[in-house]
């Protein structure tokens, strides 16, 4: 755009008296390529709202327009968040079961009054080129993709979908994490 007409005069004067208004065409802002704002090119809401009209869910072709569609989306998002929590716990369990190479190393250490004590260390590892590690890698990729999907769903700011993410994650944690062994040292006061 040539801005040479701005030299020596006020920009406001140029726009109001002599220069025609500038029109910049941006093909990425057309109605066919909107960024989360619905099919008519509106901007995406940046505040929480409760509604079910013209709510895009992850993909441009997946648009919620009725209360029934929102109810279905709520159930699907709830189950996805539950699955995410279950997947995290399942990966931890698989990791514990797949740790195969256990070595015990004993080494002499000086004890009291010049005695020698034997200290034993347990080393647990996993081989990189193994089926358990390959499975963990694939499950990790799935977990990352689901976590980003849940984040993007929450970022729609739709109250119903945000509640579905939070309630699904909470329910999944409640159902799957109770088996998780947690050792608590009751003498520890600084957490």
pLDDT in tens, 110-167: 778 877 777 766 655 666 777 778 888 999 999 999 999 999 999 999 999 999 999 9
Q: What are phi and psi of 101, to 5 degrees?
A: -85, 95
Band of pLDDT at residue 103, cut at 50, 70 and 90? low
Indicate whether 149 belongs to any domain. yes
Q: Does residue 33 register a pLDDT over 60?
A: no
Indicate whether 41 belongs to any domain. no
pLDDT score for 17: 39
Helix axes 131-154, 67-98, angle to 10 degrees: 150
Q: Does residue 25 register a pLDDT over 70?
A: no
58-74 pLDDT per residue, tens: 998 899 999 999 999 99
Indicate whether 92 belongs to any domain. yes
Q: Are 81 and 165 in contact (CB under 8 A)?
A: yes
Indicate whether 82 belongs to any domain. yes
pLDDT score for 139: 92
pLDDT score for 113: 80
Higher pLDDT, 33 or 175: 175
Band of pLDDT at residue 43, cut at 50, 70 and 90? low
Indicate whether 6 belongs to any domain. no
Band of pLDDT at residue 180, cut at 50, 70 and 90? low
Q: Give the count of domains, the chain.
A: 1
Q: How are beta strands 101-110 and 59-64 bridged, if at all?
A: unpaired
Mean pLDDT of 23-31: 42
Which residue blocks in the chain are alpha helix, DSSP H?
A: 11-13, 67-98, 131-154, 159-176
Q: Does residue 95 register a pLDDT over 50?
A: yes
Indicate whether 22 belongs to any domain. no
Burial of residue 2 (CB within 10 Å: 0-12, 13-18, 19+) is: exposed
Task: Say how many residues make up the chain.
Answer: 191
**Cβ-based neighbours of 38, under 8 Å, separated by 6 or more:** 54, 56, 63
Cα gap 83→77, rounded to integer Å? 10
**pTM score:** 0.60
Indicate whether 46 belongs to any domain. no
Q: Does residue 42 register a pLDDT over 60?
A: no
Residue span of the structural domain in which 148 resides = 55-189
Q: Does residue 168 register a pLDDT over 60?
A: yes
Indicate whether 64 belongs to any domain. yes
């Amino acid at each position: 755009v040539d801005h040479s007409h701005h030299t020596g005069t006020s920009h406001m004067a140029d726009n109001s008296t002599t220069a025609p208004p500038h029109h910049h065409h941006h093909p990425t802002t057309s109605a066919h390529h909107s960024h989360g704002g619905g099919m008519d090119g509106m901007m995406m809401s940046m505040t929480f709202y409760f509604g079910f009209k013209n709510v895009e869910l992850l993909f441009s072709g997946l648009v919620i327009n009725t209360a029934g569609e929102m109810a279905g989306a709520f159930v699907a998002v709830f189950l996805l968040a539950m699955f995410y929590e279950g997947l995290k716990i399942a990966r931890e369990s698989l990791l514990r079961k797949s740790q195969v190479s256990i070595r015990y190393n004993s080494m002499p250490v000086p004890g009291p009054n010049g005695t020698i004590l034997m200290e034993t260390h347990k080393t647990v590892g996993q081989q990189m080129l193994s089926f358990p590690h390959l499975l963990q890698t694939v499950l990790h990729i799935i977990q990352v993709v689901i976590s980003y999907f849940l984040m993007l769903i929450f970022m729609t700011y739709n109250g119903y979908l945000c509640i579905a993410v939070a309630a699904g994650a909470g329910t999944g944690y409640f159902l799957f994490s109770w088996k998780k062994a947690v050792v608590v040292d009751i003498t520890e006061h600084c957490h």
